[in-house]
Amino acid sequence: MVSTSTPEQKTINYRHISIIGLVAVETALVMMALVPAQLWTRLLPQSTASALDGPFPPVIAPIITILLYIAPSVIGFLCPAWQQALLYATLPAWIGLGTFLTAATLKIGIFYLVSTDHVTANLSILELFAALGGIGWLGRYLFKLR
Protein backbone atom coordinates (compact mmCIF):
# COMPACT_ATOMS: atom_id res chain seq x y z
CA MET A 1 0.00 0.00 0.00
CA VAL A 2 1.36 3.40 -0.97
CA SER A 3 1.27 6.22 1.56
CA THR A 4 0.39 9.58 0.08
CA SER A 5 0.85 12.11 2.82
CA THR A 6 1.44 15.70 1.95
CA PRO A 7 3.57 18.13 3.95
CA GLU A 8 0.36 19.92 4.98
CA GLN A 9 -0.99 16.72 6.56
CA LYS A 10 2.26 16.23 8.47
CA THR A 11 2.10 19.81 9.73
CA ILE A 12 -1.46 19.26 10.91
CA ASN A 13 -0.41 16.08 12.70
CA TYR A 14 2.46 17.87 14.45
CA ARG A 15 0.07 20.66 15.42
CA HIS A 16 -2.41 18.20 16.91
CA ILE A 17 0.34 16.40 18.80
CA SER A 18 1.58 19.74 20.14
CA ILE A 19 -1.91 20.72 21.26
CA ILE A 20 -2.45 17.39 23.02
CA GLY A 21 0.94 17.65 24.72
CA LEU A 22 0.28 21.20 25.91
CA VAL A 23 -3.16 20.24 27.21
CA ALA A 24 -1.60 17.34 29.14
CA VAL A 25 1.14 19.55 30.63
CA GLU A 26 -1.37 22.27 31.52
CA THR A 27 -3.68 19.70 33.12
CA ALA A 28 -0.82 18.35 35.24
CA LEU A 29 0.14 21.88 36.34
CA VAL A 30 -3.46 22.75 37.23
CA MET A 31 -3.87 19.53 39.19
CA MET A 32 -0.66 20.23 41.15
CA ALA A 33 -1.77 23.80 41.81
CA LEU A 34 -5.05 22.59 43.31
CA VAL A 35 -3.38 20.30 45.87
CA PRO A 36 -3.58 21.93 49.33
CA ALA A 37 -0.37 23.17 50.94
CA GLN A 38 -0.83 20.83 53.93
CA LEU A 39 -0.61 17.81 51.63
CA TRP A 40 2.58 19.07 49.99
CA THR A 41 4.22 19.51 53.41
CA ARG A 42 3.31 15.90 54.27
CA LEU A 43 4.47 14.54 50.89
CA LEU A 44 7.69 16.60 50.81
CA PRO A 45 8.81 16.93 54.45
CA GLN A 46 12.45 17.65 53.50
CA SER A 47 11.50 20.73 51.46
CA THR A 48 11.37 23.97 53.44
CA ALA A 49 9.29 25.82 50.84
CA SER A 50 6.75 23.08 50.05
CA ALA A 51 3.96 24.92 51.88
CA LEU A 52 4.42 27.96 49.63
CA ASP A 53 5.68 26.52 46.35
CA GLY A 54 4.35 22.98 46.39
CA PRO A 55 6.58 20.42 44.68
CA PHE A 56 8.56 23.07 42.81
CA PRO A 57 11.73 24.68 44.16
CA PRO A 58 11.46 28.43 44.78
CA VAL A 59 13.75 29.11 41.82
CA ILE A 60 11.36 27.62 39.24
CA ALA A 61 8.05 28.46 40.97
CA PRO A 62 7.65 31.72 38.97
CA ILE A 63 8.26 29.80 35.75
CA ILE A 64 5.41 27.42 36.63
CA THR A 65 3.11 30.40 37.19
CA ILE A 66 4.09 31.85 33.83
CA LEU A 67 3.42 28.47 32.18
CA LEU A 68 -0.07 28.40 33.72
CA TYR A 69 -0.84 31.65 31.90
CA ILE A 70 1.09 31.12 28.67
CA ALA A 71 0.02 27.54 27.86
CA PRO A 72 -3.69 28.32 27.21
CA SER A 73 -2.64 31.15 24.90
CA VAL A 74 -0.26 28.89 22.98
CA ILE A 75 -2.97 26.23 22.77
CA GLY A 76 -5.36 28.82 21.34
CA PHE A 77 -2.66 30.01 18.92
CA LEU A 78 -2.18 26.49 17.55
CA CYS A 79 -5.89 25.82 17.01
CA PRO A 80 -7.33 26.67 13.56
CA ALA A 81 -10.90 27.29 14.81
CA TRP A 82 -12.00 29.43 17.73
CA GLN A 83 -14.25 26.65 19.04
CA GLN A 84 -11.28 24.32 19.31
CA ALA A 85 -9.19 27.05 20.89
CA LEU A 86 -11.74 27.64 23.65
CA LEU A 87 -12.37 23.93 24.24
CA TYR A 88 -8.72 22.90 24.40
CA ALA A 89 -7.66 25.93 26.44
CA THR A 90 -10.37 25.34 29.07
CA LEU A 91 -10.11 21.53 29.15
CA PRO A 92 -7.37 21.51 31.85
CA ALA A 93 -9.48 23.82 34.01
CA TRP A 94 -12.55 21.60 33.55
CA ILE A 95 -10.58 18.50 34.54
CA GLY A 96 -8.87 20.20 37.49
CA LEU A 97 -12.02 21.82 38.81
CA GLY A 98 -14.02 18.63 38.37
CA THR A 99 -11.47 16.67 40.37
CA PHE A 100 -11.20 19.36 43.04
CA LEU A 101 -14.96 19.78 43.40
CA THR A 102 -15.46 16.02 43.63
CA ALA A 103 -12.84 15.75 46.39
CA ALA A 104 -14.24 18.79 48.24
CA THR A 105 -17.81 17.54 47.95
CA LEU A 106 -16.82 14.15 49.39
CA LYS A 107 -15.05 15.81 52.33
CA ILE A 108 -17.28 18.83 53.06
CA GLY A 109 -20.65 18.02 51.52
CA ILE A 110 -22.73 18.63 48.44
CA PHE A 111 -23.50 22.24 49.27
CA TYR A 112 -19.84 23.16 48.75
CA LEU A 113 -20.56 22.89 45.03
CA VAL A 114 -23.37 25.46 45.03
CA SER A 115 -21.92 27.98 47.48
CA THR A 116 -21.92 31.46 45.95
CA ASP A 117 -18.25 32.11 46.65
CA HIS A 118 -17.13 28.83 45.12
CA VAL A 119 -19.31 29.09 42.03
CA THR A 120 -17.93 32.57 41.34
CA ALA A 121 -14.32 31.43 41.79
CA ASN A 122 -14.81 28.37 39.59
CA LEU A 123 -16.41 30.37 36.80
CA SER A 124 -13.63 32.95 37.03
CA ILE A 125 -11.02 30.24 36.41
CA LEU A 126 -12.93 28.94 33.40
CA GLU A 127 -13.36 32.48 32.05
CA LEU A 128 -9.63 33.17 32.49
CA PHE A 129 -8.60 30.06 30.57
CA ALA A 130 -11.18 30.76 27.85
CA ALA A 131 -9.99 34.36 27.52
CA LEU A 132 -6.36 33.27 27.28
CA GLY A 133 -7.23 30.67 24.63
CA GLY A 134 -9.23 33.28 22.72
CA ILE A 135 -6.35 35.75 22.88
CA GLY A 136 -4.02 33.06 21.52
CA TRP A 137 -6.42 32.29 18.69
CA LEU A 138 -6.71 36.00 17.83
CA GLY A 139 -2.92 36.26 17.88
CA ARG A 140 -2.85 33.66 15.13
CA TYR A 141 -4.58 36.12 12.80
CA LEU A 142 -2.39 39.01 13.88
CA PHE A 143 0.65 37.04 12.71
CA LYS A 144 -1.18 35.71 9.60
CA LEU A 145 -0.22 32.09 10.30
CA ARG A 146 -2.63 29.55 8.91
Confidence band of 9 (pLDDT split at 50, 70, 90): low
pTM of the model: 0.79
Handedness of CA 140, 63, 12, 134 (dihedral sign): negative
| Model pLDDT for residues 56-98, shown as the tens digit of each residue | 777 888 898 899 999 999 999 999 899 999 999 999 999 988 8
| Model pLDDT for residues 100-137, shown as the tens digit of each residue | 888 877 877 777 777 777 778 778 889 999 999 999 99
